[in-house]
Amino acid sequence: MKRSWPIRHLFGYLAVVIAAVGMAVLAGWTRFADRIDNDAYDFLFGLYPPKDWKPESAVVAVDEQTLREYGGMRQIRGILAEALTAIQTAHPKVVALDVILADSGDPAEDAKLEAAMGNTPDLILPCDRVPSGWENPLPQFRRHAVAVGHIHADEDALDNVSRKIQLEMIAGGERRWALSLAAFQYARGGPPILESPDDIEVGGIRIPAARRNGERPMLIRFPQSAPVLSVAELKRDPSLAATLHGKTVFLGITALTAARDRLRTPLRQAIPGVEIHRDAFETMAQNTFLTPASDLLTMSVCLTMALTAGAIFWFRGGWSAYVMTALLLTAGHLIPALLFRNGVVFPYFTSVSAAWLPAVGAGTYRYFTVRRQLRRAESDRARYRQAIHFVTHEMRTPLTAIQGSSELMTRYKLNDDKRQQMSLMIHSESKRLARMIQTFLDVERLSEGQMELKRDLFSVKDVVSACLERVGPIADRKQIVIHCGELTSLVLTGDRELMEYAVYNLLTNAVKYSAAGTEVWVSAVPSGAQVRIAVKDQGMGMDAKELRSIFQKFYRTKKAEDSGEAGTGIGLSIVEQIVKEHGGRMDVASQPAKGSTFTIVLPCHAEAPLDEAPASKRV
């Protein structure tokens, strides 16, 4: 489709679109955007749950029932010892304990627990970060573990929801892997953990966890539900231990009265920390990772949507543009969902903003551009109407003279002298009419910047004298005396015909709007590097309000309308335009019933030989 805008608008249009996408990206870094992204993430998490998988892990929980049967938390080490013994009979791959044993207890209980740990191969013990570094299990327990992993679980500061876990943390200058990662490592046979800035690899499984400030966050894929086996159930029915065969077992406290580590998930469930670690392990074991969109992907999608919005409003208009924009906005809302379904977490707020802001910006730019073009078209039509008014008004006098003379020559038998006089008048008025047309066209072209002002040199005195000669007959009919004061011979640069039109218009207005038998004064005097051409009358005058509007096109004062004098109010606007094009200005002084003084102030050049004009003259 053909482009509807001139190419000169392209750079401004692109600037608006690029600024809009920049605003969208910046807005995506705000806390408000983070809240929106969190809500969108949780909604999509529930909309696209992970597919059913065969669990490779299990949770053995110290729940409320277990504590009641064993006598409360005072017996926790004995409970853990019995649980480890029962679990070991099932020959699990790895046992990860989620109870920090940093303090000494009853020696007998500690010895019993240590013995159970000694009989548990591939045991992972927990630690936690504290202000001084790491809170580690007692050495007597630690020596039986193949690894120690941290049990710190992240909660989002905005809504206290746990969506990720830090696979790597540093405290006191010492690095620890997460309990779930250590369990996964030894469940795969204990291969080394290979690291890169963007991910880690364990046993051929690439885990997308880019390092950020010494930490590696990994998004957790929480299942809709997962079975939990309590220690009490295991004690009552030892055959249940068979369900733990070949699995990674997470042993921890789930009783709310003993461990207040309930964490909310994107599914809006509150689960204990041990289940968080189990779900993180299953995310790695099932290779069902959610990967945050890269900065490159984010910027590419945003730019694509922005440029699409820009292209829509550049090449299209009307309903088709709005239909295509609606499709683009729909895509902005759907892209995060489509990418999430494929394991990529795209910032929802940024996606929506990158669709809406460029679309609104491009649409607004087009709206105001079209409005500006419409105003320009209306202005052109107004100028056309003004031209018609000018033609009908300013050209009425020469046309009347031509028409009257031609009718006299046609109807009556005139002698040769009279016929010659009529012919000369027709010829003179025809030339005057042609000059009027050319003057008007020149003023219009100058105001539109379509032509340059002539740079001829002409004398101020010659221009004013020529205008006085032309206006003389009009003044005689009203018995108005025109006093001609000093006429300087300073030289002006510009278009003489236009300047004659300006001076003549001021003179004819002075005569037209003055009462019969009054006087008009004309002068052209130097003032520094300027010349002041003044026309003073004894007409009706104007008040301050009328003076502010006198140079507007088609403005006529109330007194001028009441006087019955013909006129459209366009003459003075053309005079002002001519003076401005010559680098000058118009000064007006007037009082009601005391007349007006119109002064043209122009820059001038060297002075030619001055012929003194008479101080007063009847023309």
Give the lowest-confidence range in 1-10, 156-165, 398-407, 493-502.
Answer: 1-10
Q: How far apart are CA 421 and CA 417, in angstroms?
A: 6
Q: What is the pLDDT of residues 332-350, one digit of tens each?
A: 999 999 999 999 999 999 9
Q: What pLDDT, on the 0 to 100 scale, is given for residue 227?
A: 81
pLDDT band at 208 (very low <50, low <70, confident <90, very high): very high
State the residue for tokens 């118009």.
586
Q: 3-state DSSP call for residue 598? A: strand
* Per-residue pLDDT at 61: 93
- Identity of the highest mean pLDDT range in 260-269, 296-305, 378-387: 296-305
DSSP state of 224: S
pLDDT at 178: 95
pLDDT confidence band for 374 (50 / 70 / 90): confident
Report CA dihedral (157, 160, 163, 167) to the nearest 10 degrees: 60
Give the chain's mean pLDDT.
Answer: 84
Question: Residues 139-177: pLDDT tens digits?
Answer: 999 999 999 999 988 888 888 889 999 999 998 889 999
Judge contact between 446 and 583, C-beta under 8 A.
no
**Which region among 8-12, 24-28, 115-119 has the lowest average model confidence (pLDDT)?**
8-12
Residues 6+ apart with CB under 8 A from 484: 464, 468, 522, 523, 613, 614, 616, 617, 619
Burial of 617 (0-12, 13-18, 19+ CB in 10 A): middle
Residue 19 predicted with pLDDT over 80? yes
The answer to which of 26-35, 407-416, 507-516 has the lowest mean pLDDT is 407-416
Give the three-state DSSP class for 65. helix
Are 618 and 568 in contact by the 8 Å Cβ rule? The answer is no
% of the chain with per-residue pLDDT over 90: 40
pLDDT at 295: 87
How much is the pLDDT for 417? 81
Query: SS3 string of 129-154?
Result: EECCEEECCCHHHHCCCCEEEECCCC
Model confidence at 535: pLDDT above 90: yes
Tokens of 138: 């007692």
For 246-297, the pLDDT digits (tens) are: 999 999 999 887 666 788 889 888 889 999 999 999 999 999 999 999 889 9
Average pLDDT of the residues in 89-106: 92
Task: Report residue 182's pLDDT band, with 50, 70 and 90 as the boundaries.
Answer: very high
Alpha carbon of 103 to those of 97, 139, 274, 592: distances in Å?
16, 10, 20, 105
* Chain centre to alpha carbon of residue 205: 43
What are the distances in angstroms from CA 496 to CA 35, 461, 491, 600? Answer: 73, 12, 11, 14
- 379 or 107: which carries more pLDDT confidence? 107
Dihedrals phi, psi of 231, to nearest 5 degrees: -65, -35
**In 73-216, at which residue ranges do the beta strands (DSSP E only) sit?**
94-97, 123-130, 133-135, 147-150, 164-166, 168-171, 174-177, 194-195, 200-202, 205-207
Q: Is the pLDDT of residue 54 over 70?
A: yes
Q: What dihedral angle (degrees, nearest 10) is formed by the CA atoms of 116, 118, 123, 128?
A: 80
Indicate if the pLDDT at residue 391 is higher than 80. Answer: no
Residue 530 Cα distances to 47, 438, 487, angstroms: 82, 28, 14
| CA 77/CA 111 separation, integer angstroms | 10
Integer Cα distance of 481 and 617 in angstroms = 8
Neighbours of 419 (CB within 10 A): 15
Strand spans (E) along 442-517: 456-459, 481-487, 491-494
- The per-residue pLDDT for 49 is 84
Residue 316 or residue 70, greater confidence: 70
Closest CA to 314 of 324, 327, 300: 324
Distance between CA atoms of residues 458 and 439, nearest Å: 17
Residue 356 has pLDDT above 70, yes or no: yes
Residues in the chain: 619
120 close to 84: Cβ distance less than 8 angstroms: yes
The residue whose two tokens read 């809500």 is 39
Q: What is the pLDDT of residues 572-606, one digit of tens each?
A: 777 888 888 888 999 999 888 888 999 999 998 65
According to the model, what pLDDT value does residue 386 have? 65
pLDDT of residue 196: 92
**Contact criterion met (CB below 8 Å) for 583 and 602:** yes
In the chain, pLDDT over 70 holds for what percent of residues? 86
Binning pLDDT at 50, 70 and 90, where does residue 451 land?
A: low
Question: What is the pLDDT at residue 15?
Answer: 81
Q: Which residue has better confidence, 410 or 535?
A: 535
User: Closest by alpha carbon to 217, among 270, 174, 175, 178?
Assistant: 178
pLDDT of residue 449: 59
